[in-house]
Amino acid sequence: MARDYRLAEHLPNLRPDRQPASPDELPRQRNGVTPQMHSRYPDYNVLDEADHWDEVTRRTVLERLEKVPEIRFFTREEAATLGAFCDVLLAQDREPKIPVLNMIDAKLFAGELDGFHFADLPDDRETWRRVAAGLDAAAVQHGSIEFAGASPEIQERVVNAFAEGELHGQVWDELPPSRAWKVVTRGALSAFYSHPWAWNEIGFGGPAYPRGYARMGVGQRESWEGAAAFERDPVKDTKRRGVQGT
């Protein structure tokens, strides 16, 4: 079903249940990869532009694709729980997935912290470990054996309670959930939206040195930036792209 993105009807705040429609209604990515292959810009692949980036930036970004670090900081059990948590938090319900937990693990393993921790929390490394234990404990409260193996409904309920700061008992009595939520979401979002697959999904122009940007007006884009899927006429577009219509 086509959507008109000039309207804002797809946005959760404006929908009765504050939830979006299924992303399966979106086109599949045709050029390059997006997480789960959902896309608004199906023919735009930011990596096509990598030759235009300066060398240091190119290395930094491409390493995220080419070198997926092994899990070294978390235990196998913690990694299972937190991997499942990151999947729910970022709605990564199938491949291809951005390896968010591996990216977080690498930072924590290397001791690359963010420069502060809340006085009522331990440092970020210990906070992540306790969140793993806390998520399992919360899943047990909901009648499951652990978080990773819980049903999607229970996982969603636990994450929702975490987001609302409404987790109680055991670990959570000593780990204020609303502060811990800030720590883990900061880590997860920084990993996910630093990945070029996520840039494809949202149509972000990406690194622009030394080329820069020149078209900054309303509704304008650079010649190499992607068009949103429904800005184009599907009939003319198949002709333009040389695709045989039926």
Window 78-117: residues binding other proteins (CB under 8 A) = 88-91, 112-117
Q: Which of 1, 18, 235, 242 binds other proteins (CB under 8 A)?
A: 18
Report, in Å, the least distance between residue 76 CB and other proteins. 25
Token pair for 164: 């609302």
Q: Under the criterion CB under 8 A, does residue 224 sit at the interface with other proteins?
A: no
77/93 with CB nearer other proteins? 93
**DSSP E strands, 156-240:** none
Q: Is 215 in a helix, a strand, or coil?
A: coil
Report, in Å, the least distance between residue 242 CB and other proteins. 26
154/228 with CB nearer other proteins? 228
81/200 with CB nearer other proteins? 200
Q: Which of residues 116-155 bind other proteins (CB under 8 A)?
A: 116-120, 123
Q: Which residue has the tokens 């959930």?
A: 177
Q: Which of residues 191-220 bind other proteins (CB under 8 A)?
A: 191-194, 198-199, 201-220
Report, in Å, the least distance between residue 234 CB and other proteins. 19
How far apart CA 139 and CA 149 sit, in angstroms, is: 9
| Count of residues near other proteins by CB under 8 A | 73
78/87 with CB nearer other proteins? 87
How far apart CA 186 and CA 113 sit, in angstroms, is: 11
30/238 with CB nearer other proteins? 30
| CA-closest candidate to residue 101, choices 135, 74, 66 | 74
40/130 with CB nearer other proteins? 40
26/137 with CB nearer other proteins? 26
Q: Which of 50, 146, 189, 237 binds other proteins (CB under 8 A)?
A: 189
Report, in Å, the least distance between residue 42 CB and other proteins. 12
| CA-closest candidate to residue 87, choices 38, 148, 26 | 148
- What separation in angstroms does the CA of 27 have from each of 23, 24, 37, 41? 9, 8, 8, 8
Contacts of residue 199, defined as CB under 8 A and 6 or more positions apart, other chains included, come to: 46, 193, 206
| CA-closest candidate to residue 172, choices 208, 223, 202, 134 | 134
- Judged by CB under 8 A, the stretch of 18-26, 74-82, 94-102, 134-142 that binds other proteins is 18-26
**74 neighbors 129 (Cβ within 8 angstroms):** yes
How far apart CA 24 and CA 235 sit, in angstroms, is: 22
Phi and psi at 177, nearest 5°, equal -60, -35
Report, in Å, the least distance between residue 18 CB and other proteins. 7
